[in-house]
Amino acid sequence: MPRLSTSSLFALTAVFSAGCNLGTGLVSPGREITESKSVDRDDAEMVKVNLEIGAGELLLSGGASRLMEGDFTYNVEKWKPEIRYEGSSFRGNLTIKQSGGTAAAGNVKNEWHVRLNDDVPMDISVKMGAGESRLKLGDLKLRGVEVKLGAGRCEMDLRGNPDKSYDATIRGGVGEATIYVPKDVGVIAEARGGLGEIKVRGLEKDGDAYRNAVYGKTKSTIRLNVAGGIGAINIYGDE
C-alpha cells in the first residue's frame, strides 16, 4: 500500500482534527521515543478493544502471547499513548488512545504496532483521524469489528477461518479502503461510496449486496458493510 508523505499526512490531520474531536494545538517534533507495552491476559471470557490514534501509522495484528503486546514510536511527547485495561471474569475492556492534540508542524512521527491474542474473543473498535492503517485480523477470534477513518488509507485483511459469524463495518471520510475477505467462508458485503469508485472482485452482485460463492453454505458468515465519503472502496475475495 503506497505511503502518504509526512507533509500530506499532517495536512489531512489539520483538516480533520476538529471534526474528530482530536484537538487543534499545533505541536513540533522532538526526541524520537520507542516504547514497548503489554497487558497480561486474565480470566475475562471476552474483551472489548478500543484503539484511538489521531494521526500516524497503525499496524494491528494477532500473534500476542499476552492479551496485548505493542511497540509505539513517536517524536511528539504529548502523543504518548495511554493504555488502560479493566477486567472481570466475564468481560474486559482494553483502551489504547493517543494523548494530546494532533495538528503538527515538521517531520513528525507516530507509529503503532499492536498485537492481540489469537485465542480471546474480541470486539475491536478503531478510530483513526488521518494516516495509514493495516489491520490483519483474520487470525483473531473476532466477535465484531468497527473502523472509523478521517482521512488516509486503510487495508483490512479478514482472511481466516472464524468459528462464529460476525459483523465488520468501515466508515471513511477521505481516502481509500481495501478489504480482503476469505474465499472459503460465507461473505455478504454492502458498499456505498460518495464520490469514489467501488471495485469488487470474487463476489457477485445480488441486489444491493455482494455475495461470494459459499455464502449460506458455511458454519459462519462475515457480514461486511463499507461506506466511504470521498475515495475508493476495494473488496477482494479472490486472493
Answer whether residue 6 shows pLDDT above 70.
no
Residues 144 and 226 in one domain: no
Tell me: do 128 and 237 sit in the same domain.
no
Q: What is the pLDDT of residues 61-70, one digit of tens each?
A: 999 999 999 9
Select from 201, 200, 207, 198 the least CA-distant residue to 230: 198
Tell me the per-residue pLDDT of 145-199, one tens digit each, with 9 for 90 and over.
999 999 999 999 999 999 999 999 999 888 899 999 999 999 999 998 877 889 9
The 10s digit of each residue's pLDDT in 16-69 is: 443 444 444 567 789 999 999 999 999 999 999 999 999 899 999 999 999 999
Let me know whether 209 and 173 are in one domain: yes
Last residue of a domain, one of 94, 115, 148: 148
Return the closest-CA partner of residue 223 out of 162, 176, 149: 162
Q: Are residues 131 and 170 in the same domain?
A: no
Residues 199, 178: one domain? yes
Shared domain for 24 and 142, answered yes or no, is yes
What gap in Å lies between CA 178 and CA 144, rounded to an integer? 18
For residue 153, is it within any domain?
no
pTM for the model stands at 0.88
What's the mean pLDDT in 198-224?
A: 96
Q: Which range of residues forms the domain containing residue 135?
A: 1-148
Same-domain status, 122 and 34: yes
Q: Which of 236, 224, 219, 141 is nearest to 183 (CA)?
A: 236
Residue 135: pLDDT above 90? yes
